[in-house]
Structure formats: structure tokens, C-alpha cells
Amino acid sequence: MHWDRGVIVAIDQEAADQDYGDHVVLPGLVDSHVHVNEPGRTDWEGFTTATRAARAGGTTTIVDMPLNSIPPTTTVSGLEAKRRAALGQLSCDIAFWGGIVPGSIDEVPGLVTAGVCGFKVFLTDSGVPEFPPVDVGELGALHLAVPLLVHAEADEHLGTAGPSYTEYLASRPPISEAVAIGRLSGLGSPVHVLHVSSADAVAAVASNPGITAETCPHYLTFTDEDVTGPEFKCAPPIRSREHREALWEGLRTGVLSMVVSDHSPSPPEMKTGDFASAWGGISSLQIRLPATWTGAVERGFGLKDIVDWLALAPALLAGLDDRKGSIEVGKDADLTVFDPDGETIVKGSELMHRHPVTPYEGMRLRGRVIDTLGAAPGRMLARK
């Protein structure tokens, strides 16, 4: 393979600009679900630390979520604040999602023109006051060409979380996902369901043609039996073995098209206490590849599946597939060198994101990122 000024110009098995021996060269990974949080909550995460973690894990492009930054990316001025904050801090390429909250519909055309990849909405409380939920009825008036990303849980099926994990899990039952997904059918915009965690949600996506969906490494790795403390808390929650295996089957059948991190860090003090009060977010941006590969190998999947789930499908969703997601002449020379038979031992203190808390602490994961090429220093991208 040969490249010139960061673009692939030839693919030649007999010669290459760099030789990595028997290691596997994958397209640079794309993570379309990352909460960078800067500006406003940079003590939670920031562009410098998030993009370093991405690159260390083989990810050469991330797409930043419109929360939990202050201001959120629900206005053009909010997007401009994001871009200003990112200047000079990027170790990988980055693009941005916009957001829709009550009263921000008029901002949508300007954000599309400014190059956001699509729009995220919540149908229930987001956890931060500056990003309140919207009513599905408001979304019906939109006719977007870009995707509408939905945190799909139905309020009427959510309860009050108690201090134990059993109580927290019961407060966010699988039916809440399924009911919310059912309400998205027939919207005039392409719909993508975020962080699917349950068999019920997989079935609901399968029953609504045209809706796409994702899941995350923590749902594919852990079950409720593994949960030992608030470092495992996320929303929707980590469920039983039956639900985990339904997610893998959803990937096998194509009902779920991608595996993204939903990297949502916070200061360590917010991940202590009980399950009612701790912040609900998991940091896994750097270990998405080995975490997913570990479970994939056990179930007979191969590296092509990994490329589809962790590179191509997220690039397609974000409208970056003209330059990202696969190794082709004319595309960016973003490459991940991977040892599929290697080992990654997770130590939170050695991860590049801002805070060390991780539910993967001490785990031995299959596969190891050897090198990440391209996309440094990072650039800010717009949807094609």
C-alpha cells in the first residue's frame, strides 16, 4: 500500500510504505459515539485526552456528541464554541453531531449547513439540565437528509432507581427501549437507535424496517452478574446473559450494524457511592477494539466483521465514508495495525482518557493495537 499526503494512492501486496510483518492492517477505526464534554465540562474529558485515547486504541476518527458540553451543540454558536475549543488539541480526526432540544428546531438548518453529521435527541431525561428530552411528535415535523440519533427509552416505563444494582436495573426495564423504538416508526428522517442493550430492543428494531441501531462493548462483554460497583453504571443498563447474547445475534443478522464506545467519562468522585446517585457512563474509547474482538472470536466472528462494525458502518452513519471506514484508493490513509492474537491487559491508570475509572480494570482482552497511522495532527471534518 502506498499513500501520498495522507491519501491512499495504490494498494500493492508486493510492496508497502511500511512493513508490519505478520500483523493485520485494518482501516483506521471510526467511533461515532463519543462524549468529549469540552468546553464546559473539561474536567470530565477533553479534546486532548479523548483523541489521544482514541488514537492509542486504533481509532482515527471520532464523532463528538452534542452533550455533555456547555454550551451543548444545539446551535451554530455552540458548534463554533466546540470547534474553537478543539483547535490545536487533536490527535485524531473529529466530526460533530448536532443536538435537538425543545425550542431549538429553528437551529437545525444552520447546523446542517455548518456540517454536523446529524442530530441526537433524548426521549427521556439526559442527566444534564441543558439537554432536555423532546417529544416524538416534534420530530415528526422534521424531514432531514441526515440521521436522527435517538436515546430510546420510554418515560412511562422508567422507575426510580434505588441504591442497589438490582433496583437500578429494575428501574430501566427492557420494555422501555422497545416501546420507545416502536414510536420512531414512520418519522420523516432516517432514524438510528443508540446503545441498544436488550433483546427486546433488538426485536423492536427488526420489526421497524429502515431503522438502524448500534450497541456497545460493555453490553457485549458484561452481564448483570459481573456488576460490582458504580463503575459499571450506564443507561440503558447492563443486563442478563440472555440479553447479551441477543445483541451478538443482532450483530450476526445485521439488525445491529455497529459497535461504538458511548465513551461517557466523569470525574472519579461521580462514579462512587450507590447506583441511585453515581453518574451513568462508561469510558472505553481506547479499548473498543480488543473488548469487541474478545467476544467476537468466542462466537466465530472474524476481522471482516470487526471492520464492518468498528469502521465502515460508523463512517456510513456519519456521512464520512467518502474518506473513512475502508482501505481504498482515494480514501484517507488512516490505518490500524493490530495483532489479533496479542493481549491487552487493562489498567485504568495507563489509559489515555482523562480519568482512570473503568469496569474493565484488570481484564485480559484478546488482541493488541500495535500502531495507528494517519490523522495526526487531527482535523475537523464535516459531513460529505
By CB atoms closer than 10 A (0-12, 13-18, 19+), residue 49 is buried
Distance, CA of 183 to chain centre: 23
Helix, strand, or coil (residue 156): helix
pLDDT in tens, 165-194: 999 999 999 999 999 999 999 999 999 999
Q: pLDDT value at position 16?
A: 54
164, HSE (Cβ side, Cα atoms, 13 Å): 5
Helix, strand, or coil (residue 119): strand
**192 neighbors 149 (Cβ within 8 angstroms):** yes
Q: pLDDT value at position 17?
A: 57
Distance, CA of 182 to chain centre: 22
Interval 119-148 mean pLDDT = 96
Q: Give the confidence band of 3 by pLDDT, cuts at 50, 70, 90.
A: confident
pLDDT in tens, 46-69: 999 999 999 999 999 999 999 999
Q: Of all residues in the chain, what percent carry a pLDDT higher than 90?
A: 93
Q: pLDDT value at position 236?
A: 98
Q: Which CATH superfamily is domain 22-373 in?
A: Metal-dependent hydrolases (3.20.20.140)
Q: Is the predicted pLDDT of residue 6 greater than 70, yes or no?
A: yes
pLDDT in tens, 207-263: 999 999 999 999 999 999 999 999 999 999 999 999 999 999 999 999 999 999 999
Q: Is the predicted pLDDT of residue 13 greater than 80, yes or no?
A: no
pLDDT, averaged across the chain: 96
Q: pLDDT value at position 15?
A: 47
Nearest to 282 by CA among 296, 260, 261: 261
Residues 186 and 192: their CA atoms lie apart, in Å, by 13
E strands, 35-167, are: 59-64, 93-96, 98-99, 119-122, 148-151
Q: Give the confidence band of 134 by pLDDT, cuts at 50, 70, 90.
A: very high
Q: pLDDT value at position 165?
A: 98
Q: Is the predicted pLDDT of residue 18 greater than 90, yes or no?
A: no
305, HSE (Cβ side, Cα atoms, 13 Å): 19
**Which pTM does this prediction carry?**
0.97
DSSP code at position 28: P
Residue type, 180: A
Interval 251-278 mean pLDDT = 97
DSSP code at position 349: G
Nearest to 194 by CA among 251, 242, 259: 259
Phi, psi of 34 (to 5 degrees): -135, 130
Strand-pairing partners, residue 240, are none
